[in-house]
Amino acid sequence: MNSLELVDSFSEFKELKNIDKQTMQRVLEDVFRSMLKKKFNTDEHIDIIVNIDKGDVQIFLNKEIVDDGEVEDPNTEIAYSDAIKIEPDFEIGEEVTEEFKFVDFGRRNVLSLRQNLISRILELEKDNLYKIYKERIGEIVTGEVYQVWKKEIMVLDDEGNELLLPKSEQIPSDYFKKGETIRAVVAKVDMRNSSPVIILSRTAPEFLERLFELEVPEVFDGLITIKKIVREPGERAKVAVESYDDRVDPVGACVGMKGSRIHGIVRELRNENIDVINYTNNAQLLIQRALSPAKISSIEIAEEEGRAKVFLKPDQVSLAIGRGGHNIKLAGKLCGYELDVYRDGEVDIEDVDLEEFADEIDGWIIDELKAIGCDTAKAVLELKEEDLVQRTDLELETIEEVLKILRSEFE
């Protein structure tokens, strides 16, 4: 194997791994110099010229001319009689430059050299990948699902790099098959066994923030600022937005005409309900907006305790709490307070508005129940099956299915 073959063997590898010429040149020179130093015990008399474009490496040994019979190290010294055969004008004390041929390395050394080169380039590629993705933390990446396991998914980016999406970072209703395109945010980059491990997330608030930047030009341009995002992945999210330009309505711009902008984000997040709220420094007003669509009667804030008492009319309590308690939990996180909901001066038990079950119970069935004065889950559960059949146009099987769904909410 000569120098041309050795360097050519890495040209395809270099392009695949996207290593620049200067770095490749430096690595080649370092590996050659290390091998020569091992062979000659020194590299001070060696010049190495690497030409990546031509795929060529030239090695020159500089030897000092000494008197005949005084050569102690043939690798660094040359006898005067041999020197004048190369150039008759040479004198003792001058230097002679000879090209070192690869054949003098020996095949075993050349193979070792090649293995060292592969090792060094792989290390460089790992370091390069780590630096690239370390700078991309918080950014959205698009990749292809390559392998699906029980606890995580392997995703390949455009350059074939392996990224991991753990089950804990997936939206509960996420389901991906091999070959599908997937979007996620870079959550963190770790080094494990000297290899970079890139962790993606679809549950992080940053993922929702980046989606808003992609769908809403005013957010991307900085006209609208996202102050805070809180999420229950796959269930509900609340986004507080603010505009420094009075001419721009931040909520309207984020939602879009007839919800055109928000719909794309909702679909990406597996129908996660997204409430966009106009941010304000007024704590009471922010709590009021965060608990929407419930209408609040009054609020008492205890700053020292970090709590707030929220008083509502009986028919608004279930709306404030929301299904599974998501609405009040997220509202509290968004405002920075523990929210306690009260009705008529006393603590209210948990209840859920029927509209919260719209994804499991058909709208016409909900309308039938509302027509008999049952607006909440507990209002329906308080009635017997026979009463519900008699008072509505619903079949017994339908009533039984509805009651099963409503009971599961409180179990």
In a domain, 272, yes or no: no
pLDDT in tens, 133-169: 999 999 999 999 999 999 999 999 998 899 999 999 9
Together in a domain, 29 and 116: yes
pLDDT of res. 347: 43
Q: Please report, as a single letter, which amino acid is at residue 391.
A: R
Together in a domain, 305 and 386: no
Please tell me whether residue 66 adopts helix, strand or coil conformation: strand
Structure tokens at 151: 């606890």
In a domain, 199, yes or no: yes
Q: Please report, as a single letter, which amino acid is at residue 134.
A: K
In a domain, 102, yes or no: yes
pLDDT for 369 beyond 60:
yes
pLDDT in tens, 190-210: 998 888 999 999 999 999 999
DSSP secondary structure of 348-394: PPP--BGGGGTTTS-HHHHHHHHHTT--BHHHHHTS-HHHHHHHSS-
pLDDT in tens, 40-66: 777 777 887 777 666 677 788 888 888
Helix (H) or strand (E) holding 312: strand 307-312
In a domain, 212, yes or no: no
> Mean pLDDT over residues 241-267, rounded?
92
Decide which of 117, 132, 147 is a domain's last residue. Answer: 132
Whole-number CA gyration radius for the chain: 36
pLDDT for 214 beyond 70:
yes
Angle at 209 between CA 208 and CA 211, to 5 degrees: 65
In a domain, 192, yes or no: yes
Domain residues for the domain of 43 are 3-132
Domains: count for the chain? 4
> Mean pLDDT over residues 258-262, rounded?
91
CA 224 to mean position of chain CA atoms: 23
Structure tokens at 86: 């190369």
Together in a domain, 94 and 10: yes
Structure tokens at 337: 């307070």
Closest alpha carbon to 236 in 356, 402, 407: 356
Res. 4 pLDDT band, cuts 50 70 90: very low
Sheet arrangement for strand 346-347: 296-302, 307-312, 338-343, 346-347
Q: Classify residue 170 by its DSSP letter.
A: S
pLDDT of res. 106: 67
- CATH at residue 108: 3.30.1480
Q: Classify residue 64 by its DSSP letter.
A: E
Distance in Å from the first CA to the final CA of the chain = 74
- Mean pLDDT, the chain, rounded, equals 85
